[in-house]
Structure 1
Amino acid sequence: MTRLLITIISLLISQSAYSQWHRLPFETMGTSAYVEFYSQDSDTAAQLIQQVQAEFERINQLMSPYIATSELSRLNTLAATENITVSTELFQLLSRATDISNQTAGAFDITFASIGFYYDYRQHKKPDPKVLQQAKQLINYKSVLLLADNKVRYAKPGVKVDLGGIAKGYAVEQASLLLAKAGIQHALITAGGDTRLLGDKRGLPWQVAIKHPRQDDRFAAQLPLMDTAISTSGDYERFFIEDGIRYHHIIDPSTGKSSTGLLSVSVIGADTTYTDALSTSLFVLGLEQGMQLIERLPEYEAIFIDAAKKMHFSSGLAQQ
């Protein structure tokens, strides 16, 4: 699932320091991405930027449902008729997605694609009521059977999986680990609505702005953060409006329709893979149930923006 782009507000630095910060915007996984980190070795920095881009593309080739040769596409084509052996990496992410589905009572469900592919937001297309009724019965994360020896089977024909609600966060997290292992202590990596920060910005916090959900030129909040992750899910990145109804890409698994009640949810915590999936889950759950869930997760915090554009903060943020 495509997420809202989190705008990064870079702090002003001197010209001499600028040469030691290395930055690159690039396109990957169907969205815009950006990497910025501090290194005094320009040659090593150039190599690391290439490695970050390569890591995103590797994961894209593995997990994209739009690339015919990806492991995920092979699953979607064959897993309803036979057991398919996948890589340990993909198997582990599918397993983690299942754990999050259980934790969120199905609000996070990678089989939303069983109906999601009937929507075309650019062409303003949606499934008719009959197709909707039939396809939504295929949305059930328990239909993805994780078997021994990295084998996967779909319980029903027609089940489709899309990892858009977790794969970009996973890619951001893996890229940040790559930089950390190379000795980088100050870095920012973002793709779509998923951002990972390593350390601070050389003595100052990174300034991360969350876009206003209804005004492109405004921010809803600006957060000073360091050594953490933040993901935002919103109803305005891929959508169309018809007869006054907003059809967007965050599907409620219980209805097969676009989730309603919130405009955006941002989650802050240690792991971008989890903040990615959790921001989607809270959006689907809505303000009351979403707040109840986030309050049970002491290491994670959330900012909700409701339909009236009012912001709601989990208790850890409200106390700051």
Structure 2
Amino acid sequence: MTGSRAAPPTRLPRRRALRVLAASAAVGGIAAATGRGATRRAPAAAEWRGSALGAEAKVLLLHSDPAAARTALGAAVAEIGRLEDEFSLFRPWSALSRLNRDGRLERPSLDMRRLLAEALRLGDLTGGAFDVTIQPLWLLHARHADDPPPAALAAARALVDYRGVDVGAAGVRLARPGMAVTLNGIAQGYITDRVAGLLRDAGMPDALVDVGELRGSGSGPGGLPWRVGLDHPAAPGAGLGVGLEEAAVATSAGRGGPFTADARRHHIIDPRTGGCPPADRAASVVAPSATLADALATAMTVLPPGEAAALLRRAGAARAVVSDAGVAPRWLA
């Protein structure tokens, strides 16, 4: 991540903690149980593993034509690279890096306008708990081994306000010098959705896409829905899991990107206070799109349970699970 007129960041681990269940099929063909005591030959599997926006990424396809599946995977990888050139904070030439450096971006792409417009809508929907202008606070926390000085914290907080981002077809403008945008709380979901749509349009209906968040389309091995397990720091081995039937899931947890050895300060920052929620707090959200799930999971880690449940209903997400140290995971719907 980088701030406007700021030095490039240190790469940190991705915040999500997810493991894919029933999706470890070997490339080249699998046989899987249908769940009814019978077995059948599943379509051949084709898989790509790499990275995107600083996180591990994977795309898994089930299709009867391995050559066609590999061609579709090649198109998906190209799309991931194209969108990284828009949204990455690790690429100094990206559109987002240029916006933060210059405070403006001329002739933004349709993807940039769409994603920023959705981010601003979700800022309103969450009452500011999700704010893509959090980057100055992120940089401040990342640069201080001890607690940031109160004056520096106040100065960084003054630069955080998603309503200061003006998005138009001719350009994107940041309201004040020093403001900076990070899309790491929503771009992974957006790219996941774009890749899933590209594969569907290419005739690949059975796919699991993980570009920082996960989206399941069609059927997984054995004709069953894709199954994803959720590892929350405060509830290891709790057996949390969800099926993804044309749905997506995203998880946020502070321990995914700690700034201090004890993770007291970490990459999940409340835009309204400048502080961090407890490191072991985690939220997983199941929603129709990975874009929505991604942003809501971020917001729900800084909201109390009652507000999180209300947000889930307002946003039209399916359900969520939240956990804290010493408290059993709670399912919200």
TM-score, with structure 2 as normaliser: 0.85
> Which of residues 55, 64, 67 is equivalent to 2:88?
64
> Which AA in structure 1 matches 2:184?
G
Distance 1:215 1:290, change over 3 A: closer
Distance 1:17 1:248, change over 3 A: farther
Query: Residues 154-176 of structure 1, C-alpha deviation per residue, up to 9 Å, x if partnerless?
Result: 11111000000000000000000
SS at 2:200 equivalent: helix
Counterparts of 1:215 and 1:299, CA distance in 2: 23
Counterparts of 1:86 and 1:231, CA distance in 2: 27
Alignment correspondent of 1:43: 67
Alignment correspondent of 2:56: 32
Counterparts of 1:278 and 1:150, CA distance in 2: 29
Q: Is 1:88–1:150's contact at 8 Å kept on the other side of the alignment?
A: no
Alignment correspondent of 1:318: none
The offset of 1:295, in angstroms, is: 2.7
The offset of 1:205, in angstroms, is: 2.0
Query: Residues 105-139 of structure 1, C-alpha deviation per residue, up to 9 Å, x if partnerless?
Result: 11110000022122338x95763332112111111
SS at 1:118 equivalent: helix
Counterparts of 2:225 and 2:315, CA distance in 1: 24
Task: Tell me, yes or no, if structure 1 residue 226 matches structure 2 residue 238.
Answer: no
Counterparts of 1:83 and 1:185, CA distance in 2: 36
- Runs of 4+ in structure 1 off by over 6 angstroms are none
SS at 1:305 equivalent: strand
Task: Tell me, yes or no, if structure 1 residue 135 matches structure 2 residue 135.
Answer: no
Counterparts of 1:125 and 1:37, CA distance in 2: 46
> Which of residues 272, 276, 299 is equivalent to 1:254?
272
Q: Is 2:234–2:280's contact at 8 Å kept on the other side of the alignment?
A: no
> Which of residues 143, 166, 182 is equivalent to 1:145?
166
Query: Residues 65-89 of structure 1, C-alpha deviation per residue, up to 9 Å, x if partnerless?
Result: 231111111111112xx67331121
Query: Residues 248-271 of structure 1, C-alpha deviation per residue, up to 9 Å, x if partnerless?
Result: 111100112223486111111111
Counterparts of 2:74 and 2:146, CA distance in 1: 38
The offset of 1:183, in angstroms, is: 1.1
Distance 1:93 1:44, change over 3 A: same
> Which of residues 18, 24, 31 is equivalent to 1:14?
31
Alignment correspondent of 2:37: none
- After TM superposition, list the pairs within 5 Å mapping 1:200-279 onto structure 2: 200-201=219-220, 202-214=222-234, 218=237, 220-241=239-260, 246-260=264-278, 263-279=281-297
Counterparts of 1:209 and 1:3, CA distance in 2: 16
Counterparts of 1:78 and 1:47, CA distance in 2: 38
Distance 1:261 1:292, change over 3 A: farther
Alignment correspondent of 2:125: 103
Count of residue pairs the alignment pairs up: 308
Q: Is 1:230–1:269's contact at 8 Å kept on the other side of the alignment?
A: yes
> Which AA in structure 1 matches 2:50?
F
The offset of 1:245, in angstroms, is: 6.0
Give ranges in structure 2 of 5+ residues lacking alignment.
2-13, 33-39
SS at 2:314 equivalent: coil
Distance 1:297 1:86, change over 3 A: closer
> Which AA in structure 2 matches 1:63?
F
Stretch moving more, 155-164 or 38-47: 38-47
SS at 1:246 equivalent: coil
Distance 1:220 1:212, change over 3 A: farther
Query: Residues 260-315 of structure 1, C-alpha deviation per residue, up to 9 Å, x if partnerless?
Result: 48611111111111111111111122312111211334442111112324211123
Counterparts of 2:145 and 2:151, CA distance in 1: 18
Distance 1:258 1:52, change over 3 A: same
Give ranges in structure 1 of 5+ residues lacking alignment.
316-320
Task: Tell me, yes or no, if structure 1 residue 85 matches structure 2 residue 107.
Answer: yes
Task: Tell me, yes or no, if structure 1 residue 188 matches structure 2 residue 208.
Answer: yes
SS at 1:310 equivalent: strand
The offset of 1:58, in angstroms, is: 1.2
SS at 2:91 equivalent: coil
The offset of 1:94, in angstroms, is: 0.7
Alignment correspondent of 1:175: 195
The offset of 1:200, in angstroms, is: 2.0
Stretch moving more, 83-92 or 38-47: 83-92
Q: Is 1:261–1:286's contact at 8 Å kept on the other side of the alignment?
A: no
Q: Is 2:233–2:280's contact at 8 Å kept on the other side of the alignment?
A: no
Q: Give the root-mean-square deviation of aligned CA atoms.
A: 2.4
> Which of residues 116, 123, 135 is equivalent to 1:113?
135
Alignment correspondent of 1:54: 78
